[in-house]
Structure 1
Amino acid sequence: MIRIKRNRTRIYALGYHIPMSAHKARRVIDQIRGRSYEETLMILELMPYRASYSIFKLVYSAAANASDNMGSDETNLIICAAQVNEGTTVKKLKPRARGRSYPIKRPTCHIFIEVQDISLYEGEYLIDPYIHKDYLASLKKPSYSLQKPSYLLKIKKPRWKKRYTHMIDANVYSSGGLWDKK
């Protein structure tokens, strides 16, 4: 019997029963998936959503786990996986007029964030398909430019053009008529 020893290069952080909708948390998670740790912290600080604070704490916790367990530097970390699942729904009844009750549903969600140290993969390609080689090369460069990676520049522009011009009927703004009487 041969045992394959797997190298643990991915460290994760879990958040259970976070009091928000999974749909609202996914809106933020989709923005940080595949990005570097430092870039993720900047994005989460500037986002106006309530979910960004909980996700910020989880990303910070995952990076602390990586530096504590593997001794990795925070500048070499990327968010390799991030997902949000629906949790339990807290159901309450609120009293209303004439002795009636109104149901209140408070959704919760479970957030999973996994970070990976890219310094362990010098010269190799990561297995994750959504992390592109050009993006990893841009992370290793010391300059922090705001240019888009080359794989994002290949997106085609729409074929349609602005076909309609502003056409105003002369009778719309005319004075007098049936509706002008007081």
Structure 2
Amino acid sequence: MADSSPEVKAVARYIRMSPFKVRRVLDQIRGRTYADALILLEFMPYAACEPVRKVLRSAVANAEHNNGLDPRDLVISQAYADQGPVLKRFRPRAQGRAYPIRKRTCHITIAVRPIEEAEAATAS
């Protein structure tokens, strides 16, 4: 049973931001339409909104260009941030000690699909 128009994904890798902070934004837009998500991302006060907005626009552009889908009919079906490699640094402290600093990175993935398909998937 093949989908006539499958999910269309976009991935941003090695984003220099903690995945915990990015997930806070992704949880707000998951399941929303493209227009609603853009409005939310525009006015949320988090730095993670910028890379998430870029990935969302890329996913919609992929859907529009590669699959001929209308951006107004798209809903965010998947949105997640995976842990990327951690850059390890050290902070000098008193008496010759050093405290570790972990500069975390993440991989942001957003998938969109047409609204009618997403509603049918959630109903079953």
TM-score, structure 2 as length reference: 0.87
> Which residue matches 1:26?
23
1:126 maps to which of 117, 120, 123? 120
Question: How far has the Cα of 1:72 moved from its partner?
Answer: 1.1
Whole-angstrom distance in 1 between the partners of 2:31 and 2:51? 18
> Which residue matches 1:12?
9
1:39-118 equivalent positions in 2, closer than 5 A: 39-118=36-115
The structure, 1 or 2, with the larger RCO (C-alpha pairs under 8 Å, 6+ apart) is 2
Over the aligned positions, Cα root-mean-square deviation in angstroms equals 2.1
Question: How far has the Cα of 1:111 moved from its partner?
Answer: 1.1
Whole-angstrom distance in 1 between the partners of 2:39 and 2:53? 10
**Structure 2: segments with no counterpart, 5+ residues:** none
Residues 141-166 of structure 1 show CA distances to partners (whole Å, capped at 9, x for unaligned) of xxxxxxxxxxxxxxxxxxxxxxxxxx
- The letter of the residue matching 2:60 is A
Whole-angstrom distance in 1 between the partners of 2:74 and 2:45? 24
Give the total of aligned pairs: 123
Whole-angstrom distance in 2 between the partners of 1:101 and 1:77? 49
Residues 73-120 of structure 1 show CA distances to partners (whole Å, capped at 9, x for unaligned) of 11111101111111111101233455443321101111110000236x
**Structure 1: segments with no counterpart, 5+ residues:** 133-182
TM-score, structure 1 as length reference: 0.61
Structure 2 SS opposite 1:35? coil
Whole-angstrom distance in 1 between the partners of 2:66 and 2:22? 27
> Which residue matches 1:37?
34
Question: How far has the Cα of 1:10 moved from its partner?
Answer: 1.1
Higher strand share: 2
* Identity value in percent: 41
